[in-house]
Structure 1
Amino acid sequence: MKLFEELESEVRSYCRSFPTVFTKAVGAKMWDEDNKEYIDFFSGAGALNYGHNDPKMKSKLVDYILADGITHSLDKATTAKGEFLTAFNETILKPRNLNYKVMFPGPTGTNTVESALKLARKVTGRPDIISFTNGFHGMTIGSLSVTGNSFKRKGAGIPLHNVVTMPYDSFVSDKLDTLEYLERFLEDRGSGVAIPAAMILETVQGEGGINAASYEWLQRIEKICKRWGILSIVDDVQAGIGRTGTFFSFEKAGITPDIVCLSKSIGGMGLPLALTLIRPDLDIWAPGEHNGTFRGNNHAFITATAALSYWEDPKFEQSIAEKSKKTKAYLEKIVQDYPEIKGHFRGRGLMVGICSEVEGLASKVAAEAFKRGLIMETSGPDDEVFKLFPALTIDNETLEKGFNILEQSVRAVIGKKELVTP
């Protein structure tokens, strides 16, 4: 690790949490240069929902490269882009009765958020956005303005304007109706809050602590937006692409956002790609008004198209539901069996974790797990949640082996003896 300490910027982050040099990754496992095996419950922070080096995606990509397929194209028309658009429309949008125009901004999550905010302001002519406590939407200036984390906001180095932060579902307590509070601000001309261009939210807040909004809360947000002519933006960069159980995280809530932000796992096997899905009547961009040099990542179109084939078989979504049920039951058992951690379950689908009231415990559990061969991270404003993001394709044996390592790590942190595994 000395090489990275000497030559790489101090801004490096994950290599501090996982201090080894990785050399290989397949499915839900990684190996370092000492050939030590790790089970991956991190999945590239949600960019590897289908695991590492999926064989079908890898094969399609290698064939495309060897055939001299287009690599870089800006937003020129290419066969790879055309095949992706067709597959996305036929496999994802049409079966869900969704009608969106697909925009390709720059290839990262913050790029799609920036484009969504710009378009909302352009359509409505209003400058302000409502965001929510503990939301995380990216690291560029516009995205930081709607992000709650004070440490990351401070990194902007300038004031972040034209955003009003409102309390997320159950932010204060389960008893406080946060939307009654929000709507009162919209109704009262003395509140100091103007009608915004849009509201932006995550249905499950990833970096903010795995906070899952209830379906009822999401439905009421949609009604409020429609009542006041506010555009609804769902940031599905991390919670989407099956992470919470369905392709879009908002499906079971029965809502239809005006704009949807996708990135991370939309590329299939970790290649950079982002989409901004736009209600057709809102697509009033002038040609080139929002662009980016790498918005035409054809290699990502190839793997993204291959990834969509998973969603052609209903059994895939069923398998996510089964693994989600098993994972939730396991985490709830950890909470019950180890009251010392003062924990409670959070999340939805395979975007889950345990929030601990014991200061520093979550970070200690994650560090202990890494020593034992399990990669996982923490989240929340105080790193109070240790979270599980296993690949959606993980096999049950590997999933359960990861569970065992996690439990042994919890026991080690609270000072209990090792469990004897059968």
Structure 2
Amino acid sequence: MTVIGTSMSVFDLLESEVRSYCRSWPTVFDHARGSRLWSEERRRYLDFFAGAGSLNYGHSNPVLKRALLSYLERDGIVNGLDMATTAKRDFLTAFQDLVLGPRGLPYKVMFPGPTGTDAVEAALKLARKVKGREPVVSFTNAFHGMSLGSLAVTGNAFKRAGAGVPLVHGTPMPFDRYLDGRVPDFLWLERLLEDSGSGLDHPAAVIVETVQGEGGVNVAGPGWLRALADLCARHDMLLIVDDVQMGCGRTGPFFSFEDAGITPDIVTLSKSVSGYGLPMALTLFSPELDRWEPGEHNGTFRGNNAAFVTATAALHTYWADDELERRTVRLGNRVEERLSAMTREHHGLSHRGRGLVRGIEFEDPARAAAVCARAFERGLLVETSGPTGQVVKLLPPLTVRDAELDEGLDIIDRAVLATP
């Protein structure tokens, strides 16, 4: 009989080689609270990863935890598929009253399944169904998920190769400043759309992230997003904004597209929408696009009522006023100041971002990986992003304390200094 201990050996023995984050952070985590995690050896870590953006309100948020425990204690329904439940009603009411209504967004709400890629798949299917066309325009360095439809509109070659089959019906175009401003925005796309000899089948939709998190923290300017929305309207294409990682306040406002003053036809949300790290996703769309037949798109776990409970508590706690939004902007400005000073002091660095998503780009990708490794040694979790892993991505919880934010930035500064 094989004896498995409590160390890392059980993961090496039984878990697939596909695992990734545990390779960068080789320890066994035991519990977490706020912006901190503790290993089973009781070492404390500061978290600037936040569950890849699924923990905007921190680990084990006490308000959300109390709501969840109370619901479970009274035997509240956990899996309701798409049945009507009190938990779902409470969420929909809060979402309308605190998010959609105040922003004048008339969206219908669809629960497509529990993950971000589920939300994207539903968005792509709906766009094609409504328009009766197959192609979807995406952008260089985009990331929209790991299932086949989402991968087809994802840019990363390594992730695309994992599909094992041709990825079709996606057309990549340059993201904002991809060509360093040498070409007017959308010149190529508009020319293709207007030329009947271009070979481009007319797209059903365009899908875009306002900030490409996995792609390297590439920020689309408000003017670029407005021009994209205008182009979509003029050429009868639906505009899909993938707000899976940048929504729920990551850039400041609840939706990352608010600052641009646009209203997408379809929006995808996941990650922090449940507020507690529980699986939950939404696909939002204008009422006239609601062409689904009953049961035409479904899934067993689209009715995660435990997530509805924590999501409702998160909305009431953090989105009944603009305090969290203003704090995120303030802390984002603080990070920008620190990163500006850091890039002036250290050779081969640049930085970019919005709100509390920030990226430090290194000329040498190996240096970015080394900085993350040294940060971990000093008690900070950060990951790399970008096509070659050349960007250190900072994604702290929105509830991070000022002192914790400074502590993490100090660790990054020392890690950079120690990595020539």
CA distance in 1, matches of 2:155, 2:333: 30
2:252 aligned with 1:250, yes or no? Answer: no
Counterpart pick for 1:107 among 114, 120, 124: 114
Query: What residue is the counterpart of 1:133 in the other structure?
Result: 140
2:416 aligned with 1:410, yes or no? Answer: yes
Shift of 1:92: 0.3
**Identity, % of aligned positions:** 56
Query: What residue is the counterpart of 1:418 in the other structure?
Result: none
Counterpart pick for 1:356 among 362, 385, 388: 362
Query: What residue is the counterpart of 2:187 in the other structure?
Result: 180
2:346 aligned with 1:338, yes or no? Answer: yes
Query: What residue is the counterpart of 1:272 in the other structure?
Result: 279
Shift of 1:392: 0.3
Question: Across the two proteins, how many residue pairs are aligned to each other?
Answer: 412
Query: What residue is the counterpart of 1:229 in the other structure?
Result: 236
CA distance in 1, matches of 2:325, 2:169: 39
CA distance in 2, matches of 1:316, 1:201: 25
1:280-319 matched pairs, under 5 angstroms = 280-309=287-316, 310-319=318-327
Moved over 6 A (4+): none
Shift of 1:173: 1.2
Letter in 1 for 2:146: M
Contact 2:365 2:391 (8 Å CA) reproduced: no
Query: What residue is the counterpart of 1:321 in the other structure?
Result: 329
CA distance in 1, matches of 2:384, 2:11: 23
CA distance in 2, matches of 1:359, 1:225: 36
CA distance in 2, matches of 1:328, 1:222: 28
Shift of 1:347: 1.4
Contact 1:137 1:143 (8 Å CA) reproduced: yes
CA distance in 2, matches of 1:248, 1:366: 29
- Unaligned segments of structure 1, at least 5 residues: 415-422
Report SS of the residue matched to 1:322: helix
- Unaligned segments of structure 2, at least 5 residues: 1-7
Counterpart pick for 1:371 among 349, 352, 377: 377
2:387 aligned with 1:381, yes or no? Answer: yes
CA distance in 1, matches of 2:181, 2:42: 47
Counterpart pick for 1:30 among 27, 33, 37: 37
Shift of 1:248: 0.2
- The TM-score normalised by the length of structure 1 is 0.97
- The TM-score normalised by the length of structure 2 is 0.97
Contact 2:143 2:154 (8 Å CA) reproduced: yes
Contact 1:210 1:346 (8 Å CA) reproduced: yes
Counterpart pick for 1:54 among 54, 61, 64: 61
CA distance in 2, matches of 1:241, 1:316: 10
Report SS of the residue matched to 2:365: coil
Contact 2:251 2:329 (8 Å CA) reproduced: no
Letter in 1 for 2:346: Y
CA distance in 1, matches of 2:181, 2:401: 36
